[in-house]
């Protein structure tokens, strides 16, 4: 899977789960302030990413520092590279 394909899968999975508008999903978008996610969504976000990529990330410390969509892209691209 190329980096672009990984990013596309992240965005489409999150858009589907959280009813997000793809136009708002820029790498700089803050997932809380700009995309409107809240504390109830963070667990769902992890579950969605685990389901989409088949890895387990719920115990990862790095997840706590995620703020923007770009952070998610970097984190997941890193994980997929690590696992390949």
Q: Which of 23, 40, 65, 82 binds another protein (CB under 8 A)?
A: 40
CB of 44 to another protein, least distance (A): 6
For the annotated catalytic residues, the residue numbers are 38
How many residues bind another protein (CB under 8 A)? The answer is 12
Burial 34-73 (b: 16+ CB within 10 A, else e): ebebeeebeeebbebbeebbeeeeeeeeebeebebbbbbb
3-state secondary structure of 21: coil
Does 51 engage in binding with another protein (CB under 8 A)? Answer: yes
Q: What does the binding site for another protein look like in residue numbers (CB under 8 A)? A: 16-19, 36, 38-41, 43-44, 51
């Amino acid at each position: 899977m190329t980096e672009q394909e990984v990013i596309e899968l992240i965005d489409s999975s999150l858009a589907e789960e959280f009813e997000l508008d793809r136009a708002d999903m820029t790498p700089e978008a803050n997932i809380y302030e700009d995309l409107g996610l809240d504390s109830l969504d963070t667990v769902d976000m992890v579950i969605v990413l685990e389901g989409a990529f088949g890895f387990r990330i719920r115990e990862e410390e790095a997840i706590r520092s995620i703020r923007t969509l770009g952070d998610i892209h970097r984190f997941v691209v890193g994980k997929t590279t690590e696992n390949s």
